[in-house]
Every structure is written in C-alpha cells, then in structure tokens.
Amino acid sequence: MPGVVAMVAIAQGQAVKAGDLLITLEAMKIETAISVPKEATISEIAAKTGQPIDAKKLLVVLD
C-alpha cells in the first residue's frame, strides 16, 4: 500500500538490536512501525521523513 515515511528513528552507522524501531510509515492515517529483525549496523538510509513510498521502495540497508 502506498504511504509516507512519518519518522526515521535511526542514523547511518548506528548499531541496532532485534526489535529496535527503524522507521514509521503512515498510510490511510494508520501508522506502522518497522523494526529491525536481527542485530545489525545501518549502512544506508534510503528513506526520508515526508517522502512518499510504495510497496517496492528500499527503505534501509543493514549490514
């Protein structure tokens, strides 16, 4: 479903643990939290707050 990036909660190079919040998306006035599935480091953030997205948009690259 298309939506908008409501919040980016991480920074490039940041170490994250399983369950940490990455990004919050908003679609049809419903916010959805995207969390990290496993321990990793953020190598790239492709999404910006306020940016429209669709289902195939790359949001974050994890190492």
Q: Measured between alpha carbons, how far is 35 from 20 in angstroms, rounded to an integer?
A: 5
**CATH code of the region 1-42:** 2.40.50.100
Which class for 9: exposed (0-12), middle (13-18), buried (19 or more C-beta within 10 A)?
middle
Write down the pLDDT at residue 32: 94
Structural domain spans, the chain: 1-42
pLDDT band at 1 (very low <50, low <70, confident <90, very high): confident
- Segment 40-59 shows an average pLDDT of 93
* DSSP string across 4-35: EEEEE---TT-EE-TT-EEEEEEETTEEEEEE
Q: Measured between alpha carbons, how far is 61 from 44 in angstroms, rounded to an integer?
A: 5
pLDDT digits (tens, 9 = 90+) for 3-45: 999 999 999 999 999 999 999 999 999 999 999 999 999 999 9
